[in-house]
Structures are given as structure tokens and as C-alpha cells.
Amino acid sequence: MPTIDSYAGDRLAKNNGMSTQLEMTCTTSFAALPDVLTPSDLIAFLPIGRNAVYEALKRQAIKNIRIGQRFLITKAALREFLGGQVE
């Protein structure tokens, strides 16, 4: 049975244009996240789905700024949302 890593490797081989997205979904360290995050970063890092992330952003449960239709989230805002309990 293929492992998740081999599956991701197969997907990378088939979809060279998607390599950055697949690499981003492997982010497990808070320290490795950029200082300014996008919803895609949150989706990759948090164990919640896309709709839940956007709902939390719209309700300001995760503090953010909105520039046009883009949401931008600071790393400090994510730390606050997680209750300060991050590695």
C-alpha cells in the first residue's frame, strides 16, 4: 500500500506546476510559516477545512486584514487564535 509521502511524490511527478502547493501542505512547524499568511497557508497548517477557515476569517475569529478580496493574517494573529500554544 502506498504511503502518503509516495503518493505526494507521484502527484509531484505528474503535476510539476502544483509542486509549491503540495510542498505547502506538508508544513507542520509553526516556525516554518511565513510572517504574513494567506488563507491557503492556514488551510495547510490547521486541521480544519477551507470553508471553516474562510468563515473564521469573515467573523474575525482569526484576526486579519482584508485588501480588496484578499485576506492577510499575521503569524501573531494565528498564535493568538491558537491560544498561544504553538511550538
| CA distances from residue 48 to 2, 52, 75 in whole angstroms, order as listed | 25, 6, 17
- Read off the pLDDT band of 29 (50, 70, 90): confident
Higher pLDDT, 84 or 19: 84
pLDDT exceeds 70 at position 24: no
DSSP output for 39-80: HHHHHHHSSS-HHHHHHHHHTTSS--EEETTEEEEEHHHHHH
Which grid coordinates belong to 40? Answer: 491557503
Domain range list for the chain:
4-81
Write the single-letter amino acid at 50: R
Q: What is the pTM for the complete model shown?
A: 0.65
Distance CA 41, CA 71 (A): 11
